Chains A and B, each alone.
Chain A
């Protein structure tokens, strides 16, 4: 193709390429915004998506907060700071008070975030090692009392404090010696809350 003809076509094609580029950006942006909207609809339909249960305040100095529940995700922290996944304010609660994470086939493991964080679970003082929380366990943080309500499908085995090793060693169920002889809960089968209840 002669250079003059090519130059003419190329100069004319600038508008074509710019038009297509604007179209690409426009469609990408509208797709992205549409997806965000759709995701928000999903979450409204499934408010508990990603959560394994809820922590409900059953006792505290602030009467207004009794009954307030927080979604419990697979891992997170509890404390007074806004950066926590579960933000609970009250006397005796640290900025980051507790850490929790969910291990498959073991359950929700909870541990102190620092030395000064005092907490009790089902009447027992939490030590430095993670402890497994069961459905309907009571957690005391400062002046606030919380109850854990697990959704159906998230089983939890009871492990005594001495038998629990630091959570990082729970690679597989088989590696956890406590699992093979873990005392099963003798109380009646706890009722599990279904999602959305």
Chain B
């Protein structure tokens, strides 16, 4: 009698992730006075991870690995924010958890869109115009935060339109690039970049430009023109350096932050000290002084992770991002339509570029740009936009699986017809 050993990599991975966060939140809840919110999160967060990773694929044939890793990163962000909430007297952890729930819904919406929309013409035109209008809103009714006018307030809630328009950019570019309509996607990209320059949101402009260039190369394979694009981008960066004082300041801080230790270089210096003080294994969850770092909950959250859990843990977080990018590339290569392939490639490029910019900035490899760490950094709009990206990738992954299943069905039918 033979026994068939079934491997369930999804259950193994999800159970490990659930155990991680259950133990982390339970430990944090017992720090100082008992925090009941910690116990609630110790149950709710692993439950949400389980539901989103194991149940959503029952609705659509989604990619469980990508889901699991995205959920892990989101939960890690909630954990870090929750740890620092007690001392800061803030409620960022709970708000991030609420944004995570909303992000899951947005992800489902994006998956549905990709799966069920067959005729994209009219929708793309709406997205084209709507995206540009939304992106330009902060110029009319926006407020300035950290030197950039890229926020709007709607009913007491702050919203960053450039994060939402990222999804529009991907859809518009992949649609027009797949149909070789050069002017359409160039107009959208150029106008978006101009608006972002006016808002002084140069980090996001860099992400938009980099993703567009990557998609251009993927769709045409034209290396010389892509090279021209890279040179053009470098030229624009140099122009930005000459024109904007805050860019000059950031480059100066990057060159030698110790010269400006007490002023503008304080953030990066404290981030570096935090990473170093954590050592290989970290100071311990809930210990250390993460709040010493200015804006630790968005820009420098990676430094907080390294301080709490250690440099080895930080490297493993980077490996998680790399696995996600590899997985998304794998999905793009299986797509049978250039529109979907470009959509996934663009999403992957955006995710990779954003991760590189923020982590490179925190580690002083490149000047700090002020973009958020995907899935982890505090920010409802950022988290929802990242989950939307995952939704687009998941939608294409589910189409790929359907098509492969159809191919199997056809080959089985042909074999039956042939009497095989």
Q: Residues on A close to B: CB < 8 A? A: 1, 3, 6-7, 9-11, 13-18, 20-25, 27-32, 34-36, 39, 42, 45-46, 48-50, 73-75, 83, 152-153, 168, 171-172, 194-196
Contacts and interface: CB of A to CB of B under 8 A. Distances in A.
Contact of B310 (A18, A28, A34, A50): A18
B23 A16 contact: yes
Interface string B319-331: 1100100110010
Nearest to B282: A14
Instruction: Describe A's contact surface by its main secondary structure.
Output: helix
Contacts of B19: 20
B414 A28 contact: no
Contact of A28 (B34, B69, B287, B407): B69
Given A18-B313, A74-B336, A75-B338, A24 B20 contact: yes
B334 interface: yes
A75 B337 contact: yes
A105 B227 CA distance: 40
A30 B9 contact: yes
B230 to A, nearest CB: 19
B285 A17 contact: yes
Interface of B: 9-10, 12-13, 16-17, 19-20, 23-24, 27, 30-32, 34, 65, 68-69, 72, 119, 121, 179, 221, 281-282, 284-287, 309-310, 312-313, 316, 319-320, 323, 326-327, 330, 334, 336-338, 403-404, 407-408, 410-411, 414, 417-418
A7 B12 CA distance: 30
Given A28-B68, A171-B121, A18 B336 contact: no
A100 B349 CA distance: 27
Given A20-B16, A32-B326, A36-B330, A3 B119 contact: no
A105 B121 CA distance: 19
A13 B281 CA distance: 10
Most chain A CB neighbours (cut-off 10 Å) among B32, B284, B411: B284
A46 B121 CA distance: 33
Most chain B CB neighbours (cut-off 10 Å) among A20, A31, A46, A48: A31
A32 B323 contact: yes
Contact of B65 (A7, A35, A46): A35
Contacts of B404: 42, 46, 49
B410 A153 contact: yes
B69 A50 contact: no
Contacts of B313: 17-18, 21
A165 B336 CA distance: 24
Contact of B284 (A10, A50, A73, A168): A10
28 contacts: A6-B286, A10-B287, A13-B284, A14-B282, A17-B20, A18-B281, A18-B310, A20-B20, A21-B20, A24-B20, A24-B316, A25-B316, A25-B320, A25-B323, A27-B9, A28-B320, A29-B323, A31-B10, A46-B411, A49-B404, A50-B403, A73-B336, A74-B336, A74-B337, A168-B179, A172-B119, A194-B417, A195-B410
